[in-house]
Chain A
Amino acid sequence: MSDREPQSALAAAIDQNKRNERVTRAWLLAPALAIILAISILPLGITVVYSFLTPGTYGGVTWEFSTDSYVQFLFQRDIFDDTLVFNSAYVSIFLRSIGLALGATLGALILGFPTAYFIATKPREQRNIWLFLITLPFWTNLLIRTYAMLLIIRDEGIINIMLMKAGIISSPLTILYTDTAVFIGLIYSFLPFMVLPIYASLEKLDFSLVEAGYDLYANRLKVLFHVIVPLAKPGIVAGCILVFIPGLGAYITPELLGGGKKLMIGNMIAMQFGASRNWPFGSAAALILMALVIVVLLVNALAARRGASNNG
């Protein structure tokens, strides 16, 4: 009896403690979760609902169920006999965007990997400065950076002027408002996202493995592609995803450097909520974009899991 009572009191105290902890935790989490659920996640639900409604005359929606938005993505309804004809306009915008984002990812990898490697092999004190230099642009306004890029690749921009003064070209190269401009702009915008994760994985690289490679008669290329790159793979994959996803949904870059003519998904979606005012179709396009992003993330997660189980 006398032994039991303090024990149950203790158990009760621990129980009380646990309950208190749960309550405290719930209260602490409440504001952040409430804001994000209400302002970021609930709207996604609304977007799903909107994508199945009918567009209103002056923007917005009328509450009538319709799958037209998704049909419109692939087909055009003939105004005379209501038959559906395949329409490649929107599909081609998606394909263009995927192509540009993939190209920019590859470009950023070709530039970013050597840079990350270069930083990772610097003495420790210098690394921080280099990392700071790579990170800083990320924190400066993307719109302003893109505008700055526009200034230098314009027909009258500094690049053309210098090339003309040097006598390399006689008339300015038209870069602005082309796919090339968007491609350059995307690399420029998201390059830091490629360098940082690759750096993070190269920083831990054990150079005795590189030495072993050379000892076994490998040349530099072989060491690079058979020793260093496989070891940096997690960083490379992370970097590619971090460049590809924002590249796919880019708005500012195609808007400024593509001149609004070379559309990407992001501009196409924004337009539906502006000038051409088809909110349901814009919602559907946004959801298709999000589905693409989720597919990329899922494939990556599955590949990572398989890789882990293979190694384990």
Chain B
Amino acid sequence: MAEPMTAMPASPQPRQRRRLVRDLKAMPGFTATAWLCIVTLYLPILVLIAFSFNENRSVVLWTGFSLDWYAKALENDGIRNAAWVSVKVALFATVISTIAATMAALATTRTKPFIGQGLVYGIINQPLMIPEIVTAIATLSLFALVKKLTGLNGIGYLMLAHAAFCIPFAYMPIRARLETMTLTLEQAAADLYAPPLKVFTLVTLPLLGPGIVAGAMLAFVVSLDDVIITLMIAGPGETTLPIYILGAIRRGITPEINAVSTILVAVSVLLVMLLFIVQRRMQR
């Protein structure tokens, strides 16, 4: 050992060590862990989907392909009503929250920084920061009070509650879009004597379009998937699809639940994939 040291003053060791690390970025076991995560995230859902097509009543033993459970689910009045309530609530929440979020995004990006901007961000994002169960029981308390004072009932409460927690989700992509849009085109239009309203409708809004679409889709998905807030405040006859599914699971597991679940998952996944494509377009 001592001989080569004297022969070669610069130790050869670093180079050897260095060569051992073939790929600078690789870490042992990391690739396997990543795949494990993907399998963990997707395997349960894939099993659920697979058994929604099972001929048998079992959600365990595969006997053959069939669409019976979908037929059953679509014939089920409870499911149809719940689906209709879900769509109604989600559409209302999407329209209201997207309009409110678009206006708020314009206010927070298209005007100069102002005092209280941090507070405004805080308020808009508030529904994201508080545990959902807390918002749920708090909203329930408010609505119970309002109902007692006014005697008004109806699905409006549920719709408003959904609109509130959808706002931050609609706001995020719209604000992101506005932040990447330059003011040049709007300024050019204004220089050509377009009145502010025309600048907005003919220039800003079309450019902002993809952001608004993205925001609306997120709001729709978030409303469609909500469980906890809806569970606490929905009155009789206001059962949404997720609440119906929760009740059905408590009563006992059937492939019919798998079929409804698959439909709901498919709707969300399709919307999100569409969103992904819209956003990729936006980046170009």
Contacts and interface: CB of A to CB of B under 8 A. Distances in A.
A28 B107 contact: yes
Contact of A144 (B36, B43, B48, B276): B48
Interface residues of B, number: 90
Chain A CB within 10 Å, residue with most, of B38, B44, B106, B130:
B44
Contacts of B268: 139-141
B28 to A, nearest CB: 7
B99 interface: yes
A284 to B, nearest CB: 11
Most B CB within 10 A of own CB, among A38, A111, A286: A286
Contacts of B51: 151
A136 B274 CA distance: 12
Contact of A33 (B40, B41, B44, B120): B120
Interface in A13-46: 21-22, 24-25, 27-33, 35-44, 46
The 4 A-B residue pairs with the shortest CB-CB distance in the complex, in nearest-first order: A249-B131, A43-B138, A148-B44, A28-B107
A140 B49 CA distance: 13
Interface string A255-277: 01000000001100110110000
Contact of B137 (A22, A148, A286): A286
Interface of B: 14, 17-18, 21, 24-31, 33-34, 36-38, 40-45, 47-48, 51, 59-60, 96-97, 99-101, 103-104, 106-108, 111-112, 114, 120, 123-124, 126-127, 129-142, 144-145, 160-161, 163-165, 167, 171, 221, 224-225, 227-228, 231-232, 242, 245-246, 249, 253, 257, 261, 264-265, 268-269, 271-272, 276
Nearest to B132: A249
Contacts of A305: none
A283 B145 CA distance: 14
Contacts of A273: 137, 140, 232
Contact of A118 (B30, B104, B228, B246): B30
